Structure 1
Amino acid sequence: MTANATETTAGLASPISHAAVSRKNLLEPAILPIKRQQRSIGTLGFTWIWIGIAFMIATFQLGATGVSGLSLIQVVLVILLANFMLALLMTLTADIGTEHGLSFAVYLRAPFGIYGTHIPSLFRGVIAAIWFGIQTYLGALALSGIIEYLTGFDNWPLWYVIFATVQIINTAMGIKAVEFLSSIAAPAIIAISVWMYLTLDVLASTKGLNIWTFVGDRQLTLTTLFLANVAFWSTLAIDIPNITRYLKTPLDSRRFFKRNKHVLLAQLLALPLTQTWIALIGAVSFIAAGDWNPINVIQAQSTGISLIVLMLLVVLAQWSTNTAANLIPAALTFVNAGAPYVKYPVAVVIAGIIGTLSMPWAILDNLFAFLFSYGSFLSAIGGIMIADYYLLRRRRLNVPALYEVQGQFFYWRGFNPAGLLAWSISSALAFFSGDWAFVTGFIGGLVTYAVLMKYWVVKRYPQHELLNPDSDELLATSVGMNWNYDQHTDSFHRTAVNNPD
């Protein structure tokens, strides 16, 4: 194929027999494939995003929980190893974004069906919205602490509304605004964490405590801490394509590692190192001050301008986490479910409202129970995605059919029984597996889905990708092509990346 060639893919999907309005339910600019020319985030930008994401309140609590029963060096090593392994796993799902430019919710139309996708994707979207509420609540407390220190006025609900509104506006402006914020927030996060470590180390010394030899009296095993860390990022492990579809990719990117070099460089370094460092701060805070919450520690250990600056940095950190890790994933799932009536900016507002109505201040008191409960369900989705993308379709994907009412992903009335059954069975097993929930859910989802598809669903609903599994016609970035939707002809084409379309 020549460099300027454009090939039609109209024959890949079944003819449309439903009303046009039904097709519009699957199309919305925010959830169309992102072309290579639109991808602007490099390694540094993705690194800043990951640093911002990792500065979560739960990360501090994770470190404090670890040191309550293990030595600090054990906690550091376990968290570092767990997050490195998770980063490798996350790179597999990230390829959905770098190869095809697809969002998480749209991709789930393949393993769950064009209507079935709404069940798991909205579940993830609501969880992301709740996390937005939690992070916003913490940011509001920091803002309220600043104003109370300066004026004596204490009203965190007011600052919650203001802070939530600012974040929603920022996220609605698009991925470039999110990346810009992360580039500012990441250095601030590093600064506040260094201050906290040095301050708390001195505080521990004045109390006669050695942070590296301290061990709490709680019963905790290395395995429990390791699995808790793996489950910790079950949310982003499945919907990381929402971000990686905006990452730059080389023209010649047939090889996996070359195509995902920005993913690998950022995730394999920024995620494990930042997560471990922040968890270490939480552990040291617990040892020295008896409190892992950075807001409480800053208020207790600083005054004057240092208190104000540090609290502002905490606010900035919550803001950075929310935009990339919570508002974007939630909004895209709501767009997918509400298209064409729910536009991206409206979806961001919906996410903010849901996060607030969840009463995050109450969830924060039972944070780890919350983490483990939803982690069971999300891990199974991850296993299903890996089985579908790599084992079944071998990275080939009939993208046009994802936007067709009666295409191959219609399955049974718009639902793929293999995906829904695999998710239900694996989630149930994971939910009752205790500490092993993530592993049980992931492996269960992968195996159950692969078996059900191969020996049942594929025989009833043929999948185009399986007809010629070695063909390049259903690849995109790795063969220098884009998936391009033409609204004038209401059709998809594969277009060369250097074609002006």
Structure 2
Amino acid sequence: MQVTNPSPALYNEDLAPAQERRWGAFSIFNVWTSDVHSLWGYYLAASLFLLCGNFWNFLLAIGAGSLVIYWLMTLVGVAGVRTGVPFPVLARASFGTFGANIPALIRGLVACFWYGAQTAAASGALVALMIRWPAMLEFHQSSQLLGHSTLEVICYLLVWAAQLLIIQRGMETVRRFQDWAGPAVWLMMLILAIYLVAKSGRFSFGEEIPRDVLVEATRDAGISTPPGSLPTLMAVAATWITYFAALYLNFCDFSRYATSERSLRIGNLWGLPVNLLAFCLVAGVTTTAAFHVYGEVLLHPDQISAKFDSWFLALLAALTFVVATLGINVVANFVSAAFDFSNAAPRAIDFRRGGLIAAGIALVLYPWAPWETGATRFVNFIGSTMGPIFGIMMVDYYLIRRTQLNVPDLYRERGEFRFNGGFHGKAFVALFVGMVFSSILPTFTTLLPSWWGLYGWFFGVLIGGASYWLMRRGDAVWSGGVSGRTPASTGSH
């Protein structure tokens, strides 16, 4: 779709509706292989696998969670296919042409946070490889910089810089990178699993790990109920769903390039429930085999590779972890932040500059390393802030507008989405109410039950979405259209 006479403050070529659509089912599938196959993803998957207690509980909890993820991603993905616009532009329909900058900047800052976390994890794999040399080990132990060892800082900078080479070439380079990086990481994961299972001489699902050892190893997962119990399985499913909270918002950044809704659904089907179950299974089996070989519960794959006798396997593992990090940072963090920051100032910031801003913020955060907390607590707090935004946008697109959206007016200051000076007050009231119950109360007070935080994202979606729905019931759009808009201007295709 061509947009005529757009407002310069709302438009640039990167934010415009997608004209070229080359992302077939395989490319969509590899969005998910790139996003999931990371060091943080492995750590979380291995922890949740062990907390399930046995294989059948794993299928129940992770399987159910993966199906919910597929459904939610398809909801936002379809909106991307039909409108061709990225997340911050789609958010203008509910938050207003300029109000959309607030949820977009929230998402962009979350992306910067995750960018730093993933980069630090990958650099840790390089450090583990390099300290096999006695000279490097001595350097690692004796030299400090910015609150870390100097070797850690150097490795962080190397991984941080390598990612810039991909994003600066644009979205088509992102697609090509994903199409080989995703399968390559899967191949290395299988090699790692087969090597450890063969060395341990057994194929098991964690039942042999003593309960006290298991509880201690997974303490940082933030799930205090006994492994295998019903409350634990519910918490496992909820945590797995919340892990993808940020991408529920900006998956349309990718689906807008899909060749069709059918390609989107096929790619999502193989990339989400099928791929997620297989990934968690391999992570769990590998962790269990490593326990039998090394006598420890090693939830981080770089901890496992550090114990390899083979230098070649250790090098291959370290390189694979770096590629995996490049993949997830490009998919979940670079692309999102690039569009989000570009949306704030389209005339000054394009896609590439937005990516550079994200990388710069992640670099500034590194000395404090705010991501070095319990994995699930970090995931749930960050994810819960995204819940109300997602709920408001999906209620607006599906329940209020019935998927009929005036795309050209998303780029006009005085169009349908002007609301009150470019800000939609009802959406921000709903956002605040949702965040109170999803993030603020469970994080900073003891007013809510201790288990509430595990489900913060869900409460945010439901309360934020319901609040928005109730406030908008009397608006003209409730009938399925806005006065003065013709079917030809919906922008659906």
Same fold (TM over 0.5): yes
1:212 shift after superposition: 5.0
SS in 1 for 2:52: coil
**2:60 aligns to what?**
77
**1:243 aligns to what?**
254
1:103 shift after superposition: 0.5
Q: Distance in 2 between the 1:361 and 1:270 partners?
A: 31
**2:83 aligns to what?**
100
Match of 1:352 among 353, 359, 362: 359
Aligned positions of 1:170-209 closer than 5 A: 170-202=166-198, 205=201
Match of 2:425 among 417, 434, 447: 417
Q: Distance in 2 between the 1:180 and 1:370 partners?
A: 31
Greater mean deviation of Cα atoms: 162-171 or 95-104: 162-171
Deviation string for 1:436-484 (max 9, x for gaps)? 22221112222211111223xx36x999933389x63233353xxxxxx
1:80 shift after superposition: 2.2
**2:118 aligns to what?**
135
Deviation string for 1:235-280 (max 9, x for gaps)? 111211001111112xxxxxxxxxx111111112212233233333
Aligned positions of 1:21-32 closer than 5 A: 23-32=7-16
Q: Distance in 1 between the 2:345 and 2:462 partners?
A: 31
Q: Distance in 2 between the 1:7 and 1:316 partners?
A: 37
Match of 2:234 among 223, 229, 237: 223
1:362 shift after superposition: 4.1
**Does 2:459 match 1:440?**
yes
**Does 2:372 match 1:390?**
no
Change (3 A) 1:436 1:138: closer
Change (3 A) 1:58 1:159: closer
Alpha carbons 2:3, 2:408 under 8 Å: kept:
no
SS in 2 for 1:31: coil
Aligned positions of 1:245-284 closer than 5 A: 245-249=256-260, 260-284=261-285
Alpha carbons 1:130, 1:356 under 8 Å: kept:
no
Deviation string for 1:15-63 (max 9, x for gaps)? x9xxxxxx3221111111112xx11111112212211111122322223
1:215 shift after superposition: 6.8
Q: Which amino acid aligns with 2:357?
A: I
Match of 1:117 among 87, 100, 103: 100
Q: Which amino acid aligns with 1:466?
A: V
Q: Distance in 1 between the 2:16 and 2:10 partners?
A: 9
What number of residue pairs does the alignment pair up? 445
Q: Which amino acid aligns with 1:405?
A: E
**1:160 aligns to what?**
156
**1:43 aligns to what?**
25
Alpha carbons 1:88, 1:268 under 8 Å: kept:
no
Change (3 A) 1:209 1:320: closer
1:89 shift after superposition: 1.5
Q: Which amino acid aligns with 1:170?
A: I
Greater mean deviation of Cα atoms: 435-444 or 83-92: 435-444
**Does 2:300 match 1:299?**
no
1:8 shift after superposition: 8.8
Q: Distance in 2 between the 1:8 and 1:222 partners?
A: 48
Q: Distance in 2 between the 1:247 and 1:355 partners?
A: 30
Match of 1:211 among 203, 206, 210: 206
Q: Distance in 1 between the 2:460 and 2:199 partners?
A: 42
Alpha carbons 1:200, 1:284 under 8 Å: kept:
no
Which structure 2 segments of 5+ residues have no match?
141-150, 216-224, 227-231, 443-451
Alpha carbons 1:72, 1:213 under 8 Å: kept:
no
Greater mean deviation of Cα atoms: 179-188 or 324-333: 179-188
Q: Distance in 1 between the 2:464 and 2:200 partners?
A: 45
Change (3 A) 1:395 1:210: closer
Match of 1:318 among 303, 317, 325: 325
Greater mean deviation of Cα atoms: 281-290 or 55-64: 281-290
Aligned positions of 1:42-61 closer than 5 A: 42-61=24-43
**Does 2:481 match 1:465?**
yes
**1:491 aligns to what?**
none
Q: Distance in 1 between the 2:107 and 2:210 partners?
A: 36
Alpha carbons 2:39, 2:321 under 8 Å: kept:
no
Q: Which amino acid aligns with 1:58?
A: W
Alpha carbons 1:69, 1:215 under 8 Å: kept:
no
Change (3 A) 1:332 1:130: same
1:7 shift after superposition: 9.7
RMSD of aligned residue pairs (Cα, Å): 2.7
SS in 2 for 1:167: helix
Q: Distance in 1 between the 2:66 and 2:301 partners?
A: 22
Q: Which amino acid aligns with 1:142?
A: A
Change (3 A) 1:178 1:151: farther
